[in-house]
């Protein structure tokens, strides 16, 4: 192996038109074991990227959504929101899903149903856990929107790795 590497390095320089040009060293073809290792690493990275969380906090509300993308068109969503102002203006939240329309050949944003915090400010964050999103068209990403009567804030997108 050492001879092959040395030979590849020595053989990688060439003279073209009187000028010495160096080429990139030759690399051995990847083995089946290295393909398996790369595949395992990619699967782990994909799985790690499949679960993402975004928080949205402002005067009056604080909440988050954790999205676990389960495939090209599906995800599991857990979210919660709490009232941080105690002003009888309970916050509400919903998920947005960015999808691709085959029929119209363009992307669109589907907005989920509102989930209102009915617990008030004394009981903490009101959760909605493991809500399944199953679309028929490709799901590019999701984000969370949280509103009070006076304002709304939206998180950054969480992108689907599938």
Q: What is the DSSP string of 36-94?
A: HHHHHHHHHHHHHHHEEEEEEEETTEEEEEEEEE-SSSEEEEEEEEEESS-SS---EEE
d(CA 48, CA 39): 14
Q: At 114, list the tokens.
A: 């509102």
Number of structural domains (the chain) is 1
pLDDT at 122: 87
CATH number where 77 lies: 2.60.40
Which residues span the domain enclosing 100?
Answer: 49-159
Structure confidence by residue, pLDDT tens digits, 30-86 = 444 433 444 555 566 566 779 999 999 999 999 999 999 999 999 999 999 999 998
Main-chain dihedrals φ then ψ at residue 147, nearest 5 degrees:
-135, 150
109 lies in some domain: yes
Q: Is residue 17 part of a domain?
A: no
């Amino acid at each position: 192996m050492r001879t092959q590497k040395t030979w590849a390095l020595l053989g990688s320089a060439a003279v073209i038109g009187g000028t010495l040009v160096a080429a990139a060293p030759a690399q051995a073809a990847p083995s089946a074991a290295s393909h398996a290792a790369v595949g395992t690493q990619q699967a782990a990275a994909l799985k790690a990227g499949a679960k993402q969380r975004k928080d949205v906090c402002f005067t009056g509300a604080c909440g988050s959504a954790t999205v676990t993308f389960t495939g090209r068109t599906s995800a599991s969503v857990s979210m919660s929101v709490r009232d941080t102002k105690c002003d009888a203006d309970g916050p509400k939240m919903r998920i947005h899903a960015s999808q691709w329309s085959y029929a119209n050949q363009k992307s669109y944003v589907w907005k989920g149903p509102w989930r209102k915090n009915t617990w008030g400010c004394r009981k903490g964050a009101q959760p909605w856990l493991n809500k399944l999103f199953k679309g028929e068209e490709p799901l590019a990403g999701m984000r969370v929107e949280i509103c009070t009567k006076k304002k709304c804030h939206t998180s950054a997108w969480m992108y689907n790795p599938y």
